[in-house]
Structure 1
Amino acid sequence: MKPLYKALFVAASMTFVVACSENHLNDEAMQPQKTSSARIGQPGGEDRCATMKVLSDKLAENPGLARSMEAIEAHTQRFIAMEKGNNGIQKSDNNQKPGNGGGDGKPGNGGGGGDTGGGGTTDPAVTITIPVYVHVIYNNSQQNISNAQIQSQIDVLNKDFRAQNNDKNSTPSEFAPLIADFNIQYSWNTGDLIRKASSKSSWGTNDAVKNRKRGGSDAVAGYLNIWVCNIGGGILGYAQFPGGSVSTDGIVIGPEYFGSSALGSNFYLSAPYDLGRTATHEVGHWLNLRHIWGDGGCGVDDYVADTPMSDGPNYGCPTYPTVRCSSNDMTMNYMDYTYDGCMYMFSTGQKSRSRAIFTPGGPRADFATVTP
């Protein structure tokens, strides 16, 4: 088991901000302003910047967000400890867990849930169905992607989060027993869609696309909102972690990275990010998952016990084993930065972390009001 920092999740997030060049973020429209995570297309050091920069900026802007995220982390760690106890596994020392002893487990303004006052499930065998609302904001006909391309992305999400993707069989034997079915599925129909033409050529990461008054489209309550637009700056997508404002809750993805070329033809997609894994990655953040390397060095954790320590992202299609921090990297995990065709699993620990937000009092508990 990896050691976990004693510091609270938010304090750790602010401490381990990566010092990086911001040459690609000088334009005010490109400045990250929300509690989000960005996946960037060009391999290089700048890829390390976006996630922690966005999170740090939003925490500095809104001190109340830190308290909300502290409470969410405390809630998450209590659920994980309870789950281990129910499985007959000896609980870890509470002092090793971030968030214990802080907050009351009832995060307010949780984003897509908050202090729900009802709903939620603690049973990981319950299948949670999350309705999706898609906002296509386009500047040209290519960006106005087809319904078929949208459906191909929903199909990828359902396969990836249920561990029904065929490429999971490529997982090395070291990690194969950890492959997790989240028991989370996604529903979408053509009525849950808005298409809006825009003269804006790129939207950046300041959440303007999520605001009708700024030319975008407002979030629809009760849905996982997905905005499909050209972000610019080489960014494939970004997400809002639980704890942010409901009005901006959801994920944003470039049109050429939304959908799968393996599930249709004549789609507007760009290889090697053309298999729908950008959405899988960003929805992972929306479900409270951190990057697999914890956005720091060997001592920085992603708050998941079964993912190996690492000191940075992997790019392209790494060979196995890729050794960092004296262990083999789980390069095929969806929360790394590899090409779409080279990521194909979530871990059991990641499932536990994500399911915690759907438990009573969790920030997304309202989504779990379903029949098993």
Structure 2
Amino acid sequence: MKKILISAVTALLLFSCQNDQSESTDSEATAVSTRRACASQQVLDDQLRADPTLAIRMNEIEAFTNKSILTNRLVNGKIEIPVVVNVLYRTAAQNISDAQIQSQIDVLNKDFNALNSDYNSVPALFSGVKANVGITFVLDQIIRKSTTKTSWGTNDAMKKVAQGGLAPTSPATKLNLWACAIGGGILGYAQFPGGAAATDGVVIDSKYFGLSGAANAPFNLGRTGTHEVGHWMNLRHIWGDANCGSDLVSDTPTHNEENYGVPAYPHYSTCTGTPVEMTMNYMDYVDDNAMYMFSQGQKNRMAAIFVTGGPRAAFGI
């Protein structure tokens, strides 16, 4: 297991630039993905270029998070998060049902409370660090809007009324989800803590929202939502978006890169020490049926954003 030292320099090293995501064609928007693609880090890079002060705010959040964990300021209080779901649809299939929306809430509640049926599949090697995060989600409101837009891309257009989208509802105290056609092979993306309130929340392609049916396999079990909400709660990809990078969590093994599909266990990293990778972690890129755990370190990192002084303290612990 790796140990990390969080500093402003370390945080800044995370923000490496990536290529911009262009808006997809109609055929790309309707195709079903076979490999997971999350645009959260790419969107963060774009936001950092547009707003240099964001890096300062995020460095402050990193320092606060590290201090909260080291000084045991975290408590086991109850966090219940109201969820607003914004549905933007052009086709009947994109206008997902209330039942499908509720299925995503149900998946979040299972995955964040260790109630998922595959939680006991965690290998013995990681059984000592697997975690019940203890955060619950309640569906607060569903807002629907018809659109002629084929795909929305990753520039937050779906969150802006002037661009045909729906603005977030009370983002300081409610988690906003957008269900829409993202395009470009992107399953979803989230805004990390510290970003602008006007764009805060999680975007999930409507094909992968909740229990979306066998036609959308292998991403039809709602784990795109779990992965992206993890980002919204300040978790990074488990490989740190760099070869043998850091996810800023001490009890996850160093991954050389993302994993896809359903990796055979044990899967060894090529990084120093060749540790067994935690491929079943929600913050990897594996298929929905191959991810089923958060670690205790990830739990502590998520909890830190909700304590007094944290970036999502309005939700409260």
TM-score in same-fold range (> 0.5): yes
Query: In structure 1, what is the equivalent of residue 29 of structure 2?
Result: none
- Aligned-partner Cα distance in 2 for 1:6–1:365: 21
Query: In structure 2, what is the equivalent of residue 127 of structure 1?
Result: 78
Query: In structure 2, what is the equivalent of residue 313 of structure 1?
Result: 258
- One of 152, 156, 159 as aligned partner of 2:103: 152
Alpha-carbon distance, 1:126 to partner:
1.3
Q: Alignment partner of 2:151: what SS?
A: coil
- Aligned-partner Cα distance in 2 for 1:54–1:130: 24
Query: In structure 1, what is the equivalent of residue 289 of structure 2?
Result: 341
In structure 1, stretches of 5+ residues that fail to align are 30-39, 87-121, 262-266
- Aligned-partner Cα distance in 1 for 2:128–2:305: 24
Alpha-carbon distance, 1:7 to partner:
4.5
Query: In structure 1, what is the equivalent of residue 42 of structure 2?
Result: 53
Q: How many residues align?
A: 305
In the alignment, is the contact (CA less than 8 A) between 1:161 and 1:181 conserved in 2? yes
Task: Output the amino acid matched with 2:299.
Answer: K
- Aligned-partner Cα distance in 2 for 1:321–1:165: 22
Alpha-carbon distance, 1:53 to partner:
3.0
Q: Alignment partner of 2:153: what SS?
A: coil
Alignment of 1:1-372 (within 5 A): 1-5=1-5, 7-8=7-8, 9-15=10-16, 17=17, 22=19, 25-27=21-23, 41-43=33-35, 47=37, 50-83=39-72, 122-123=74-75, 125-189=76-140, 192-221=141-170, 222-260=173-211, 270-298=216-244, 300-324=245-269, 325=271, 326-368=274-316
In structure 2, stretches of 5+ residues that fail to align are 26-31
- Aligned-partner Cα distance in 2 for 1:53–1:161: 25
CA distance 1:82–1:269, change in 2 (3 Å): farther
In the alignment, is the contact (CA less than 8 A) between 1:258 and 1:279 conserved in 2? yes
- Aligned-partner Cα distance in 2 for 1:234–1:151: 24
Q: Alignment partner of 2:255: what SS?
A: coil
In the alignment, is the contact (CA less than 8 A) between 2:129 and 2:295 conserved in 1? yes
Identity %: 50
CA distance 1:54–1:331, change in 2 (3 Å): same
User: Normalising by structure 1, what TM-score?
Assistant: 0.78
In the alignment, is the contact (CA less than 8 A) between 1:145 and 1:268 conserved in 2? no
Q: Alignment partner of 1:178: what SS?
A: coil
In the alignment, is the contact (CA less than 8 A) between 2:208 and 2:216 conserved in 1? yes
Give the CA RMSD over aligned residues: 2.1
- Aligned-partner Cα distance in 2 for 1:330–1:358: 26
Task: Output the amino acid matched with 2:205.
Answer: G
CA displacement 1:268-295 (0-9 Å, x = unmatched) = 9611100000000000000000001111
